[in-house]
Amino acid sequence: MMSDKEGKEEYNKESESKTTAYLPIGVGAGIAIGTGIGIATDNLAMGISLGVAIGAGLGVALSSAAAAKNQKTDEEQ
């Protein structure tokens, strides 16, 4: 049976990766931009919805770009 210390060390090794969670970053930025657009156009619901959609797209694009960069770096080694 594994002790708590061994389990934590194994967990830390598994959690280290080259990827970052870009989707929440993109959605957060999109909500901020969408809120600004919604306030400017006096339609907050539409602005936030548009911001979430744009942010999700941005997050997926950033994630795939980072994965491609990591793959290219791994191939060079």
pLDDT of 19: 59
Report the amino acid identity of residue 13. K
pLDDT tens digits, one per residue of 5-42: 555 555 555 444 555 788 899 999 999 999 999 999 99
pTM as predicted: 0.66
pLDDT of 41: 95
- Decide which of 14 and 50 is more confident: 50
Query: Terminal CA-to-CA distance of the chain, rounded, Å?
Result: 37
Helix (H, G, I), strand (E, B) or coil at 51: helix
How many alpha carbons fall within 13 Å on the CB side of residue 17?
9
DSSP labels for 10-28? HHHHHH--S---HHHHHHH
